[in-house]
Structures are given as C-alpha cells and as structure tokens.
Structure 1
C-alpha cells in the first residue's frame, strides 16, 4: 500500500485552516437553528396526535360550569345535664325545655352555626349541581357561586351517603352552562386529566395530572375509585375531573394525606357510577338498591384449594339473614357464589355492587358451588333498607391442631351464649401460638370453630377427624367456619405447610 506524501506550503496551510473554521461555524449555526426550531415543538414527539401542549382552551371551556359551594350548618345546643336534644322528638323536646329550671332556661345558649366549603358542577341548563354528600351533609343553607361572581341559593334534591354523591338545584330561571358525564369511559393509566374546583375557598382553580390507577378499592366501600395525581385539596370535594374532551370522568371525593394537604394521591368517583346515581337522585330524591341478604367474604386461594376450585374468584357466603330473599331461595352458609345472571363474580365487593344495581323484584340467577357440586338458585331481589348483623375450657391433646398452633377445648353453654351460637356446634380456641399459621390467619383465643370442611364440630376430636378427611381427599387446605363476637367468617388452614 502506498501513501501519498503531500507538503503544504505556509499560505496554503493557513487557507486550509480558515476553511475548516468556517465550515465548523456554519455547522454550529445550522445545529443551533435546528435546535431552536425543535424547541418550538417540545412535546411533538412525546404526545399523541391531538394532545394539547396547553390546557387553557379546555379549562376556559369547562370552568363556567364549575361552582364553589358554601354551606351553613345549624347545630342545636346541648342542655345542661341532658346533652344534645336534636334526636329527641320535637313534642318531647319542647316539654323537656319547659320543665327545666329557670336559671338553665336563661343560660341556654343559642344554636351554633358551622360553615364548610366544597365544589360542584352543573349537569343541566336548568341548574342541577352535582357534589359530594359529605359537603352538604346537615346543611341548613346552601349557596353556590360562579367564577364571574354570581351567587345563587340552592336546595338539596337528594343525596346518597354510600357513594358520597348529592344533587342540588339552583333556585333561578337563569340558563346555565353545564357539562356532561363521559359516555363509555375507557380511561387508561397514564391518560391526562384536569381537575377544577375550590381548594381552601380560593375559588376556581385548575390542576392537571394523569390517571394513576383505575378500580382502586378504599376502605370498606363496595365501590371502586379512580386514583389521580392532579393536585386535590380541601375544598375540591365534589368538583369534576375532566378528560381532554371536556367530559366529566370523575367526581373528586377523597385524598390520601398524613397532613391534610395534597401529596399527589386523590380519588374520584367514576363517571359511570356518578351518572347513574345522580340520575336516580334527580328522578326520586333517593337511591333504591337491591338486597340479597347474605354476609359474604373474599374467597382466598387457601379456601379455593380446600374446595378444589381452580381459582379464587367468587364470593363466599359466611351467613344468611333470616327471612331474606337468599334464605327463601335456599342459600346456605358456605356456598360460593360464582356467577350472577351469567356473569362471573370477581370477589365479594363485585357481588355487593352488582346486587345493589339490580331492580327490586328482579329474579336473578346465581351459579353457586356447594359441597363439591355446581348448583343454580333463582332469587327475587328485595329492597335494601338503610342500616340493614366465663367459659368451660377443657384442653385437648396437642395432635392435629398442634401443627397449626392451636389448642382447642370444649365450648360450654356460657361460651355459646357469648358468641351467639344457637345450636350445639362449636369448639373453643383455648390458645394460639404466636407466629403460627393460625396466628397469621387471625385466629384468636376465645373464638370458636364451628365447622371444618364439610364436618360440623362438636368436640375437639372432630377437628382431628376433619383434618384427616381433608388429607384423604388430597386437599391443599381445609376450610374452617369461625365464630366471633362480631359474627362468623370463613378462613382456611393450609395442609401442605
């Protein structure tokens, strides 16, 4: 291989250097120009087509339909030596006040007024406002105010404590701006949302964020929530969460916070549920729910294994209410409800929600699993009413119960009376070893085990027999019916541990 050896003169060399510098400068200017052009469209490669870089147009569109809610509550004073008279019938209250000594009459304080703030939004031009139940609970006067300064009195049309929803009606003939609930909502985690409300009484305030989770369960509520990270604070309750089309996808209801301020975890009632409940409140002022009449619990994997089921879907019947639709249809303790009207039941909350949504008088078909067999029961759904659940200890030898960390004994009449057991079933839990499987599953001293597998228990020996029966069937776990002072519940102990 040959190399070309070229000698560059001084002037030629200088001209080459200048050319190179010029080329570098041109390249730099071209690069800076490209970067400047790119800066004009900072999100063009990150956002889907149609996604706004600014939410200003959206907020300008929906804000006229969002209101601040001012509530005055009136609380009757307590009477010295008697307490608060609010819950006493009026005729008796007046009589009691007349009987009070003169000095007490003169010293009786005036009714106290309380004030609270919240948010809401209009869903009709004639003035129907959606908010939270807890915002207007016990209100004696309600005022709504708009971002333009207009104020109107409002009356309560109806509220539903279970879903924390309420509907107000503005007392005016004015034609109002309003927004709509989203139809066929298919929100995904990561979708943009905008919340508008009245945090801390500041008036119309907009924040943006994303959907952090869907189907979020909170506490003992049977209903699921949207979780959002848009800033929601006190005063935002009852306000709307919008999608990018200006439709309401949620009603802001709660925040998770150790301090009372926002930490980026807020919860909104989904549009599908809110739309259904508010329509019913507008139509009749209250919500009617279907009632089955069973106490249900989650089907754990251990319980599913004890029954030979493939998965842990469904709801386990722990107790059947006397004279309930379920009782009349033949439901029994220990039934596992797998389907309702042909649709799979995911868990006990799913069952509670779906039964509540059924019309009163509807004949529902339940697919259940009982004693190793599938069975179908038909039930005429009832109406759910609001608010509608020293021992003789002889220790057994430490045998089958020992591996679970249990010591069992006989349950005397006093124990049955204490736990509300009306028949002769039940054996007493004398002690539970700390750190044992029984301790981890929540077994407690003083409770009773009523049944194990398909065997009712009348003595500690019966427990050992039930364990042996389960092992003969090659089950991975045995299901137990446990009675406590709070009611009865099913749990399972694993046999392969």
Structure 2
C-alpha cells in the first residue's frame, strides 16, 4: 500500500497552482504554530539547581542576634494573681527553664542575609536585628564575624549591616525585579527554623503585592520560606537578587507556599541611602490622597479612573505650590500616576529640595504646578510631637478581635522580650475571630502595624484607619512571642 501522503500529492496535481500553493502555506503555517506551542508546553524546570546553588551559597549568611534581658528588681511573680497573663507567664517560664532568681539572661534570635559587596556590606530585614545588642554573621564557609548596624528602614523592613574582613568577601549583585514575570523560576536561600543553610525553589506567583506598608512592592512566591528565612535573598536564574524574603501568610507559622519578598528595585534605593546617610531620605509632598474610583471619575468628569485625588492639603510643599483639596494628580515629574500607591513611591524616590512638575486636574481643566519637595522623615518627626500633652486613653481596647493594652516594663520582662520593648500586649483573643484562627493568643505583643511602630492604642487604630482610607483589605501586624517575631495579616474590611 502506498502512503496517504503520495496519494494526496497525486490528487493535488489536478488542483490549480495558486490554490495548491495557498493550501501548502496553510499547512506549513499550522505546523509552525503547533511546533511552537509544543515547545512552549515542553519547557519545564531546570534539570538541576545545583550549579546555581553552588554559585550563590558563599554570599548568603546566617544571622544570630542576642539581647541582654535586664534582671528583675524584685523576686517572685510580678504579675498579680488572677491576671489574664498569669497562666501564660507560668507556662512560658517553665518552657524556657527560667526561674525567678532575678539574674540577667540572654535572648537569641535567628535570621538570614546576604553580602552585597566585597568590603562586607550585608542586607537583611529590620525585624531580624531590631533591638539586638550583638549581631553575629555566619558565612557558608563556617567563618564567623561580628557585624555593626549601618542603618535601618522599618517602612520597608530593610537593614544594612557591615563586617570587617581581612579578605574580600564573595557577594551577589541585585537584579531588576521589574523584569520578573509571573511563572518565572526563583530560588530562596537562608536559615529556615535555625536549621542552617538551605535552598528552596519555586516560581513567581504574583507581582506588585501590597500587604500594608506605604512602600510595599512584594514579589509573591511559592518557594518555601519559613521563620529564619527572613532577610535572605530571592534569586533569579542568573544568580541575581530580585527580592528580600520578608513575610509569609500562614495559619500555623510554617510555609504553605505563600511567601513575600520585597522587590529589589525598592531595596536597592533604600540600601543606597542607608549606605550614604545611615538613614532614609524620602521626598515629601504633603497631601492626603485617595484612589480615583470609577464613580468618583464619573462624578468629576474624568475620562479614566486613574490618578490620586487630594482630600486634604495641610501646611507643606503642596500647599506652598498652590495645590488644593479636590485636585487630581495625573502625572508627577513627567510620569503618569495610576493610583495612590504609585504616587507615594514616585514622591519618595524624588530628590529632596528640588522643584518637580506636577500635573493636576482642577474643575475639568489641567494645570501644571511646580513643587519643591520636603523630607518625609522630618515631617513625620514634627507630627510625632503634639502641641499639647494629652493623657493616654483608653488603657485597654478591643481591636480586630483582640483585647490590647500598652506593654509595661514588667510585662516585657516576663515575656522574655528585650528591655525597653514597646508595643501592645494581647490580653484576650475572641475565639471566633480571624486573629484567633491565625494563631494569635494571650501574651503576644504587637510591635508594628503597617510596618510602623505601635506604642499606644491610638497608633494601632490610626494604622487601621490609614489602611482603610488607602483601600487596603488587610493590615500586617508584627507579632512577638517570647522574642520570636512573625507577621500576621488581619482583615480590616468594614
């Protein structure tokens, strides 16, 4: 029997030449498309991550911090009998093997980091080293060096350390996080659960995630990230750092495949400022803003629901430049503004003390204003000092299913937290609340909300209000339990 292909060609001889050519072109085109589709479907995981792991390992470090917890000024229990903390403190002390002899003790914590220059600059998370008396760096080779703190940025949870080494240190470069696509392979490395150097692989699950911080730009990944991975690097397949592993969403504190790494394009700017100044220096416009929703856009006669709507203009650079409530910022320094998040980041990255052109929509007409930016850190410092001292009330409140009150020195000591720890102690948890379902319990201490410190009950409520005004669905809390920090995101939808 002859092949069907031969039979087809014989029959094709009777077909007009131009029709036959079209027929062949269609077949060839379909074959090419099919071939490309097959190749795309067949593209799988690398055969091995071993070469990459070998390349990056020398630059990743384990970080051990230690803090001296001050001695108690009195012996015996310091919590009144019948206190809601009584059982928790007793169990906690028993687990830690701590008596009531009043002797000072050391508290240790573990994290990860990575070397970014041969002269010993190291990047990690702020929450890894916050409040530490001593910071020790363990290298992949086994060498250990003490580190000094160069600077921190709690808003992005980034810290910069420095070690002095006799020999140049192996380091890793930053990559461009904006080039990462959902589905790209990534590798995380660090010190999970204190087990030592460990590598995990996964993909980019999502981009541009915002948990609750003002400058959030997280890469979401399913590469395993656990406690102790905080501050460690997230690599692309070229061995470049495209994120700093910072947080996980988990009902039990372990990895369930939802981890977040602060994008490198945010981190590099923070690190550059910490290296040069020892602190961040962000631009400040001086306005309160909200996103332009479709209904607002329609009401204001805007063609598109984009930009940042100004709701208030207190004293500051924007007011000096003539901005008023009701203006919609459409572009900043020549770049279009999609929403409030984008405007906040653009302003933060802009140079302080220099004039910037801002395009606003006012009463249906566009207008260009020239604004000389101030420094955000100075503005926030001024706002932190009230004109009149107001008594702190109330001393206890129920928020997000939690009953909280400011931490006292006695509470901090009994909880095994560093001396001087500030925050809100959880005295009760509603058992039908999301907070309880996510593992929060009596004795936990909230030290940050929205990546800003909380000391008073008002601080927490302000962070909730800010997040709701910004359209956030959840608020990220930094919880400490016996000195061990972890992030928990709680819903704030009304």
Is TM more than 0.5 here? yes
Q: Deviations over 1:73-97 (max 9, x none)?
A: 23446767xxx9xxxxxxxxxxxxx
Q: What corresponds to 1:67 in structure 2?
A: 61
Cα distance change, pair 354–75 in 1 and its aligned pair in 2 (3 A) = farther
Q: Is the 8 A contact 1:68 1:120 kept in 2?
A: yes
How far, CA to CA, are the matches of 1:212 and 1:234 in structure 2? 20
Corresponding position of 2:453: none
Contact 1:222–1:350 (CA<8 Å) still a contact in 2? Answer: no
Q: CA deviation at 1:174?
A: 2.5
1: CA distance, partners of 2:248 / 2:284: 30
Tell me, what secondary structure is at the counterpart of 1:211? Answer: strand
2:244 to 234, 239, 251: 251
2:339 to 324, 336, 347: 347
Measure how far apart 1:126 and its partner are.
Answer: 1.4
Aligned to 1:332: 324
Specify whether residues 331 and 146 from structure 1 end up closer, same or farther in structure 2 by C-alpha distance, changes over 3 A only. Answer: same
CA contact (8 A) 1:147 1:203 kept: no
> Which residue of 2 is the match for residue 365 of structure 1?
357
Q: TM-score, normalised by structure 2?
A: 0.62
> Taking structure 1 as reference, are residues 486 and 125 closer, same or farther at Cα in structure 2, changes over 3 Å only?
closer
Deviation at 1:273, TM superposition (A): 1.5
Q: Is the 8 A contact 2:232 2:244 kept in 1?
A: yes
The reply on whether 1:176 has 2:173 as its aligned counterpart is: no
Give the alignment of 1:49-448 within 5 angstroms: 52-76=46-70, 109-183=102-176, 185-322=178-315, 324-385=316-377, 387=380
For 2:235 and 2:169, locate their aligned partners in 1 and report how far apart those are by CA, in whole Å: 19
Which residue does 1:46 correspond to in 2? 42
Deviation at 1:122? 0.5
Is the Cα–Cα contact under 8 Å of residues 73 and 138 in structure 1 kept in the other structure?
Answer: yes
d(CA) in 1 for partners of 2:283 and 2:269? 15
Residue 148 of structure 1 and its aligned partner are, at CA, apart by 2.7
User: Which 5+ residue runs of structure 1 have no aligned equivalent?
Assistant: 1-42, 85-106, 390-484, 492-497
Q: Deviations over 1:381-436 (max 9, x none)?
A: 111126357xxxxxxxxxxxxxxxxxxxxxxxxxxxxxxxxxxxxxxxxxxxxxxx
1:185 CA drift (Å):
4.4
Q: 2:184, 2:470 → 1: CA distance?
A: 40
Greater Rg over alpha carbons, structure: 1
